[in-house]
Structure formats: C-alpha cells, structure tokens
Amino acid sequence: MSDTKTATGGTLLTPFNMVAGLILLVGSVITVLRFTGGLGAVSNLSDYNPWGLWIGFDLLVGVALAAGGFVTSAACYIFGLKRYHSAVRPAILTAFLGYALVVFALHYDVGRPWRLPYPFIVQPGTTSLLFEVGACVALYLTVLFIEYSPAALEWLGLKRARSIVVKLTLLLTIFGVVLSTLHQSSLGALYLIAPSKLHPLWYSGYLPVYFFISAIIAGLSMVIFEGSLAHKHFHDKMDETHLKEADGVTLGFGKAAAFVLFGYFVIKVIGLAVDNNWHYLTTGWGVWYLFEIVGFVLLPCYLYAVGARDKNVKLIRRTSGLAVLGIILNRLNISLIAFNYHLPSSERYFPHWMEIGITLFVVTIGVLVYRFIVTHMPILYEHPDFKEDH
C-alpha cells in the first residue's frame, strides 16, 4: 500500500490534510517557543492587557459554543423531547471536545500546566468567581466525558461498563445543566469588576444573564450548524434514524432559537433603559453596537422564525452560521474590542500572529479529533449491538 493511501483507499494528500498538517507544524513550533521563551516571546499580552485572544476566543467563545451539550441533553432527557435523541451524541461530543480544548488552551495562558489544579488542591479561592468558573468547568468536563463514554465503550465492546454509565444519564444531565448555568453566567460576571474599562454599551449589571441566555442561543445554533456540516461531510456515517430526524431537529431547534433570540433582544433593551445609555447609540461605538444587535440578534431571530414558519430547513441551517458568528462577535466585543476602549490605539491590545497561530492550532486539533471519533465510533448512527437500548 502506498504511504499516501489510507486503509480505505483514500489519499492522505488532500487540501484539508495538507493545510491541517501545516497548521499543526507551525503550532507545535510556537508551542515550544511559548513554554521556553515565555508569554513575551509569542504574544502581545502585558500588565495592561493580561487577557487577550486566548481568553476572549479560546475560553469565552469556546465555552459558549460548547453549550449545545447541556441544551440538547436537557431537551431530550429532562423535557422529554425524545424526537431530538439523535442530536444528543453529536452535541455531547462537540461539547466535550470544546471544553477539553478550552482547558488545553488555558495552559498557554497559565504557563505552568502542572499548576492548573493549584487553586483546588493547595489554596482554594472559594470567594473568587474564577475559582467558581474553574471548578464548574472541571466538573462539567468530567460530566461530559462520562456522558460521551457510552459511544467509546460501544466501540470497544465493553457492554457492562456501558450499561452502568447509561443508567446515570438523567443524573448526569441534571448535574450538567446546573454546572452550565453556573459557569456560563459567571463568565459574564467576571467583567462586572471592570466598569471603567468596558464600554458602557456592553457593560451591564445584567452581564451574567446576557452570557447565560446567549449561551443557550449558541448551543441551539451550534447543534444546527454542526449537524449541517456533519450531514454534508459524514453523510455516509449516518443511519436511517439520524437521516430521518435531521430535519426535525433543525426545525425544532431553529424555532427555539428564534424565541430565545427575541428574549435576548428584549433584555438587552431593558439593560440599555435601566442604565440610561441611549445617548451612546449616536456615537461611533453605538453604530458598532447596533451592528451587533441588528445584524446578529434581530436578523437571525427573524430568519429563524421565517424558516420555522415555512419549514425551510436550508434557511435555518444558513442562519445558524450567522448566529454563531454573532456569539463570537459578542464575546470578542466584551473581552477585546470594547475593552479598554478609552485608550489610544497605540496602547490597545491586538493579538500577535503567534497568538492567532495557537488558536488555529487548538481549533485544528479539535476538528481532527472530531473527525476521527465520528468516523470510527457510533456518534451519527446507532451501534447494531445496542439498538434496543437507545
């Protein structure tokens, strides 16, 4: 067999594999530079800008986009919407990989990986929001691993271990929803201590509520978005059940997203009214704020509603991409763009190209691991030996 051929006869030298290989190579070199030369060698972080792209994107965006796990499992197992069962495993896998990569990316920011558990073991900071976020993320990552494990156990043929884990499904789902509610909102609460740094249009006492509700939007949209990509690229891995239920999941989640987006818009308006920040809307920052709200909240809300009304699956799937971009923009606005807005441009933070390289490196690892798991494990189909248990 040729070295450039896989076991199934496909070539390894595809454009995707070559680009991914290049990103992994460059990312590995930057990783060595980061842990041998320090933050200054690969980033533009400073005492004035201690949180950069690795927090703004890798953490805040990563955690939000991984919310599909608790949203989908809650819909299926707590609210009894069994018609969405086929979406649970893909959503749990995406959430598990998302949180695992968040923890992985944090090592670049922390700098001493072996000290990541320090706050929990040596000196717990129980009065700190960061401690609560860290504890919840660590616990929820464990929950997601256990929730994902039945697929791996089925692949390995470990029936007894798999049956034990499946019995814990409802308990794990409830625990996961509680933990997600806590840390999704607490990530927003972290910015409550910076009223003088974050622009008033994005700063609000309702930030924890904004973060939690927008995380639900992100979860619903990511399930649709990830499902559409899986349907396109892994169609041959899907069984009849997944193919039959795919449109129903898209329509149901699209309808739910429309309602949540409208509710999110309403509380954003309430926040503006409570803080009396209307006058900022006539400034340059106000134009940017309206661009986010109108273009990435009201517009996807309308498109989701129209798609659900007309049962237009294609429109809903396209809208999910717009909604996901909106979540990314919102988190970056709060953590980077509208943060330290009062400083002159020469003093404001802009990520070093190596920071961007590390972010691409982390995302590429996630995509490759996802592809491997979906290709080899029963994520998009029911394992024939366990059909009666699904």
Task: Name the amino acid, one letter, at 34.
Answer: R
Domain assignment present for residue 172? The answer is: yes
CATH of residue 300's domain is 1.20.1630.10
**For residues 46-73, b (16+ Cβ closer than 10 Å) or e, as one string?**
eeebebbbbbbbbbbbbbbbbbbbbbbb
Domain assignment present for residue 1? The answer is: no
Contact between 380 and 50 under an 8 Å Cβ cutoff? The reply is no
Contact between 261 and 304 under an 8 Å Cβ cutoff? The reply is yes
Domain assignment present for residue 14? The answer is: no
Domain assignment present for residue 204? The answer is: yes
Domain assignment present for residue 7? The answer is: no
Domain assignment present for residue 152? The answer is: yes
Q: Which of 185, 322, 352 is nearest to 258 (CA)?
A: 322
Task: Name the amino acid, one letter, at 328.
Answer: I
What pTM did the predictor assign? Answer: 0.92
Please give the tally of structural domains in the chain.
1
- Boundaries of domain holding 121: 22-382
Per-residue pLDDT of the chain (390 residues; tens, 9 = 90+): 344 454 444 577 888 899 999 999 999 999 999 999 999 999 999 888 888 999 999 999 999 999 999 999 999 999 989 899 899 999 999 999 999 999 999 999 888 878 777 777 777 777 788 888 888 999 999 999 999 999 999 999 888 999 999 999 999 999 999 999 999 999 999 999 999 999 999 999 999 999 999 999 999 999 999 999 998 889 888 888 888 888 999 999 999 999 999 999 999 999 999 999 999 999 999 999 999 999 999 999 999 999 999 999 999 999 999 999 999 999 999 999 999 998 888 888 999 999 999 999 999 999 999 999 999 999 998 887 766 555
Cα 237 from Cα 10, distance rounded (Å): 16
Cα 143 from Cα 138, distance rounded (Å): 9
Per-residue model confidence (pLDDT) at position 2: 42
Domain assignment present for residue 35? The answer is: yes
What DSSP letter does each residue of 75-141 carry, written as one string?
Answer: IIIIS--GGGGGGHHHHHHHHHHHHHHHHHHHHHHHS-GGGTTHHHHTS--TT-HHHHHHHHHHHHH
Domain assignment present for residue 388? The answer is: no
Tokens describing residue 168: 């814990």
Instruction: Tally Cβ neighbours within 10 Å of residue 100.
Output: 19
Cα 313 from Cα 78, distance rounded (Å): 26
